[in-house]
Chains A and B, each alone.
Chain A
Amino acid sequence: MAIALQQEYDFFLAHIDEFMKTHLNEFVIIKGQQVVGFFSSYEKALREGLSRFGATTPFFIEEVKKEEVVHYFHGIK
């Protein structure tokens, strides 16, 4: 399936060092190339994004961490 939020993902990776200075372990919402805000939990970020953009508009939420989290699977192609 196509990656829907590639632009936001690239923006996040480009600014992660900047985010870490003041928002470590917070959850950022990014839409396009704009930071919408930082939140203390995923659910708070999700609710804010839904409130701003509605139920069917994609927006990017990611936790600000020192290293990008890489996930490991066995059952995925």
Chain B
Amino acid sequence: MPALISGQSPFLQENGPIYPVLITPSFPAIEALRLEKRDVPHIKVQALFDTGAQTTAISDKVASFLKLTPRGTARVHTSQSSKVVNKYDIALDFDSNIYLNTLLVFGADLQDHSIDCLIGRDVLQFGIFTYDGPAKSFKLSF
């Protein structure tokens, strides 16, 4: 039976498909933090499924809160500019049964400050994403 994430909102058109996710450092980074007897931070945020994003991004605020260590840089083009941003490895947890243990994401200044994660096509490529406008619902199955 496929794993399923689903949501419904009367404001689906206005807000988009938003789902709460738990973000932590990647599992390999957590192992390293525990070896060094450091705390493992986590944060629950609102994520927007964004078919227009090639790669998943998190807000700079989340990267700072989690004290993520940069693992590289990437060149990003937006509608307004081109810039170089930091890359981080995270784990993304939709719920206890659906998670990605190592995901490379970008740190970014997100335009909508109520959203701290854009889930891009690098995640969506693993599943089937359905947006049902009349029912004001969405689902992602893996």
Residues B75 and A71 in contact, CB atoms below 8 Å apart: yes
Q: How many residues belonging to A are interface residues under a CB distance threshold of 8 Å?
A: 33
A43 CB, min distance to chain B CBs, angstroms: 5
A38 at the interface (CB under 8 A from B): no
Q: Is the CB of A46 within 8 A of B75?
A: no
Chain A positions within 8 Å of B78 at CB level? 72-74, 76-77
* B25 shortest CB reach to chain A, Å: 8
Report A1-30 CB contacts with B as 1/0, cut-off 8 Å: 101111011000000000000000000000
Residue B123 interfacial (CB < 8 Å): no
The residues of B that contact A55 with a CB separation of less than 8 Å are 25, 29, 32-33, 35-36, 38, 69
Whether B77 lies near A58 (C-beta < 8 A) is no
18 pairs of residues in contact across A and B, judged by CB atoms under 8 Å: A1-B64, A4-B86, A9-B73, A9-B84, A46-B28, A46-B102, A50-B31, A55-B33, A55-B36, A56-B38, A57-B69, A58-B69, A62-B72, A72-B54, A72-B78, A73-B76, A76-B57, A77-B81
B72 touches A5 (CB 8 A): yes
A72 to B142, CA, bound (A): 25
Say whether A59 faces chain B, with CB atoms less than 8 Å apart: yes
Find chain B residues with CB under 8 A from A4 CB.
70, 86
The B interface is mostly helix, strand or loop, or mixed, namely mixed
Q: Are B54 and A71 in contact (CB under 8 A)?
A: yes
Q: Which residues of B contact A8 (CB under 8 A)?
A: 72-73
Question: Are B71 and A77 touching (Cβ within 8 A)?
Answer: no
List of B residues within 8 angstroms of A76 by Cβ? 57, 76, 78, 108-111, 118
A71: B residues at CB distance < 8 A: 54-55, 74-77, 106
Structural contact, B54 and A3, CB atoms closer than 8 A: no
Residues of B within 8 A of A50 (CB): 28-29, 31-32
